[in-house]
Chains A and B, each alone.
Chain A
Amino acid sequence: MTHGVATSHAPPRPQSFLRRHVFSVDHKVIGRQYLDLALVAVVTGMVLSWIMRFHLGWPETPVPGLGKLAPTGAAGGVITPEYYLALMTMHGTIMVFFVLTTAPFAGFGNFFLPIHVGAEDMAFPRINMMSFWVTLVAFLVLLSAFFVGDGPPLSGWTAYAPLSAVGKDAGPGQGVGQTLWAISIAIFCVAQLLGSLNFIATTLDLRTRGMSLARLPFATWAWFITSVIGLVAFAVLMPACILLILDRVAGTSFFIPAGLVISDRLQPHAGGSPLLWQHLFWFFGHPEVYIAILPGFGIVSQILPVFARKPLLGPRVFITCLIAIAFLSYTVWGHHMFLSGMNPLSATLFSVPTLVITIPATIITLLWIGTLYGARLRFTSASLFALGFVSVFVSGGISGFFLAQPSTDIYLHGTYFVVAHFHFVMGVAAMFGIFAGTYFWFPKMFGRMMNETLGRWHFWLTFIGVYCVFMPMHYLGLAGNVRRYSAFTDEYLQPLIPLHRFITIAALFTGAVQLIFLFNLIRSRLRGPKAPDNPWEATTLEWSTSSPPPHDNFGGRQPVVSHGPNEYGNAGPRDYVMQADPQ
């Protein structure tokens, strides 16, 4: 397929092992690399949370073996208060950045976006490869904080200044550890921007014949919009991290005011504004949580019709709502700062769009539920996780009502109610989106089917488990249980410790259940039954090619698209029409 242009579209299939599997510009390899990275990250993040939760339930009981791994932070197997906070910081940072921003977005998006639009690869394959390796470097820099000086930082994934800005006087981990954190995140920003560049350019410029924007699959729309959000959000976080690093190592005072006495030392800074860090961070931080969840919306909207055997209700409304959410996500960041000392009038101003964002989110949820009306639901691991997503997203979204209002936030800010809210939407719903995507796309990516029985056990035990872990946290919050405490020594918290122990047991149990998923992943890769091209009878372009797809995605043929992605539920022997089917 040439039009008189010398360069062919995609480079020919490389031969060496390194160029095929390691330093590959093939978007499918890059997508899998992102997913592998996310897998390592999520296991790390989860193990950290187990140690934290165990300590909260049984603060004096040693964790076997931990003393040897962390002789300073966990002498004798019992973690110190600073080590608890260090683990908490790393848990949050790893999960938000290296799991939720990679797997659903960079992972599945890299693998499937070019295929969904009918292209042979991303617009800039070499930059795409760079984005993965830069992400990996960022991850390694972050992990190195465990092994330096006095350990990882303890300022949380939010790294509020001046705690994060003054250096080692502020506490253990606040020396080299915090600087490595800031460097890691700045590097991560660069990687994300390179990734967003590819997603946007590919969606705009490389769509195949007949693939209008209106015919894009829902997941693709979600990835496209997510990458636009990311383009602006990460562009703000990066300079913020640079300014933070300068305050730490170059003696500047962007975030540090005068007159601070820390560790009995008057700090040599003046004039800076701690609130400036919060504004910059949350201007990134709020859109970031939509980056974490929007791909899940797209994946669920892609999967539900396949297993309901009918089209998604209101596809154009769905896309409009995604765009509305993306716009509104930039107007709400102050709802993390109601009590921060900023002008109280702005609290009311921020609260209005925060509540308004509920409207498109509710519409989307109703569209999913409405899709189920009159359906012929098939239950597979993929569809169970997609249905479960709806349930946990409702749960997580509803608690937002309380936190969106400054008046109720007066009581609930800084409590476990907040922890419940963000874990439900990010730690559960977004994870369910990743699970659903994995079960759905595994056959296409690896050419083998996953084990359905194991998948169903994984779903049921996880679904019940996560509710047992996170629903009680709302109750803790209502009782005034403060978050980010390494131990509960306050009198009013003593009666709540049994509930914490329940949560810990549920968390350890749910964590253990994930071994079923891991086992299924590995066993299916090696010995799963061969997957046909279109095991789920789905319409989008990836199902028109082989499992796994050939190097150039469509075997030398360029798909011509004559249909949208939503044609399910037709009468007749075949109840669906694929996008690449003839007119």
Chain B
Amino acid sequence: MSTAVLPPSPSVPAAARVATGDAPRASVAQTGVWIGIATISMSFAALTSALVVRQSSAPDWQHFQLPPLLYLNTLALLVSSATLEISRRRRTVAALNATLVLGLLFVFGQVLAWRQLAAQHLFLASGPRSAFLYVFTALHALHVLGGLGGLLYVQRRLAGAVLAPTTFKAAALYWHFMAILWVYLLTLLTIRG
């Protein structure tokens, strides 16, 4: 068997990449977020089918009123999406700070909603609907906290004027997805009352 060694093939130094506006690396952030959205959606889809199956497998589905605080929290999250868009289009730090505050208020509000549930003696193990309510709100809030971390990173770079627009767009994409996901989860829990 021939083991002739050939010289490494030449390649063109510093060849131009196909670049559209931003450096290629920045657009990778958006791809990453889309992939993240796909994964997270899939996880909640699995939990949705678990909910549907669980509801139909036994007659013990509870019919309690969802704490109204949840709707207030929803409003906070939706407004935070609006402020984020304002911040992104106008590159203003103030609107971004508003988003961060509203996001924190949302998470805090979710924890308060748990307290309200507990006051009605609705706990994780009380029954399937309350179980799913806790699981959905907890998992969603964890992902929101992750999103807040990303927004803090964005805020730092925006303040230092080194934020690429595509990075901002990627972070905003994730944040809006958090809002859409939450509206979906709340709707699911409401119609499956």
Contacts and interface: CB of A to CB of B under 8 A. Distances in A.
- Is any CB of A less than 8 Å from a CB of B in the complex? yes
Interface of A: 1, 3-7, 9, 123-124, 193, 196-197, 200-201, 204-206, 208-209, 231-232, 235-236, 238-240, 242-243, 246, 250-254, 257-258, 270-273, 275-276, 279-280, 283, 378, 380, 532-535, 537, 544-546, 554, 556-560, 574, 578, 580-582
A151 B101 CA distance: 47
Most buried by B among A271, A280, A560: A271
Given A197-B35, A258-B58, A534-B5, A242 B14 contact: no
B50 interface: yes
18 contacts: A1-B13, A3-B16, A3-B23, A7-B25, A197-B35, A205-B28, A242-B135, A243-B47, A253-B125, A258-B58, A273-B54, A280-B49, A380-B1, A544-B8, A544-B9, A544-B11, A558-B14, A581-B9
Contacts of A554: 11
A558 B28 contact: no
A78 B2 CA distance: 54
Contact of B58 (A9, A271, A537, A582): A271
B17 A276 contact: no
B35 A582 contact: no
A560 to B, nearest CB: 5
B124 interface: yes
A238 B43 contact: yes
Contacts of B124: 246, 250-252
Interface string B49-68: 11001100111100000000
Contacts of A250: 124-125
A559 B38 contact: no
Interface string B121-135: 000110110010001
Interface of B: 1-6, 8-19, 22-25, 27-28, 31-32, 35-36, 38-40, 42-47, 49-50, 53-54, 57-60, 124-125, 127-128, 131, 135, 139, 162
A545 B15 CA distance: 17
B74 to A, nearest CB: 22
Contact of B60 (A271, A535, A544, A559): A271
Contacts of B10: 580, 582
B47 A239 contact: yes
A402 B55 CA distance: 35
B131 to A, nearest CB: 5
Contact of B9 (A193, A205, A253, A580): A580
Nearest to B17: A209
Contacts of A581: 9
Nearest to B130: A252
B22 to A, nearest CB: 8
Given A209-B15, A276-B50, 6 more contacts: A239-B47, A556-B13, A557-B11, A574-B6, A580-B11, A582-B10
Given A197-B32, A205-B27, A558-B11, A535 B42 contact: no
B154 to A, nearest CB: 16
Contacts of B12: 557-558, 560
A117 B47 CA distance: 36
Nearest to A240: B46
Nearest to A452: B1
B28 A206 contact: yes
A254 B131 contact: yes
Nearest to A379: B1
Contacts of A6: 162
B58 A206 contact: no
Contacts of B45: 236
Contacts of A532: 3, 5
A276 B22 CA distance: 47
Contacts of B24: 205-206
User: Which of A6, A197, A270 is the most central at the interface, judged by chain B CB atoms within 10 Å of its CB?
Assistant: A197
A279 B53 contact: yes
B43 A236 contact: yes
A5 B18 CA distance: 14
A123 B43 contact: no
Given A235-B39, A236-B42, A124 B28 contact: yes
A198 B156 CA distance: 25
Most buried by A among B3, B22, B44: B3
Q: Which 5 A-B pairs have the closest CB atoms?
A: A271-B58, A251-B125, A5-B23, A235-B42, A532-B5
B54 A537 contact: no
A204 B28 CA distance: 9
B58 A257 contact: yes
B42 A558 contact: no
A342 to B, nearest CB: 11
Nearest to A533: B8
Contacts of B127: 271
Contacts of A559: 11
Contact of B46 (A3, A235, A272): A235
B42 A232 contact: yes
A240 B128 CA distance: 15
B48 to A, nearest CB: 10
Given A246-B124, A273-B54, A273-B57, A201 B35 contact: yes
A187 to B, nearest CB: 14
A547 B19 CA distance: 31
A560 B15 contact: yes
A276 B54 contact: yes
B131 A246 contact: yes
A556 B14 CA distance: 8
A558 B50 contact: no
Contact of A270 (B44, B60, B139): B60
A3 B58 contact: no
A546 B5 CA distance: 12
Given A242-B135, A556-B13, A558-B13, A537 B42 contact: no
B50 A3 contact: no
B31 A205 contact: yes
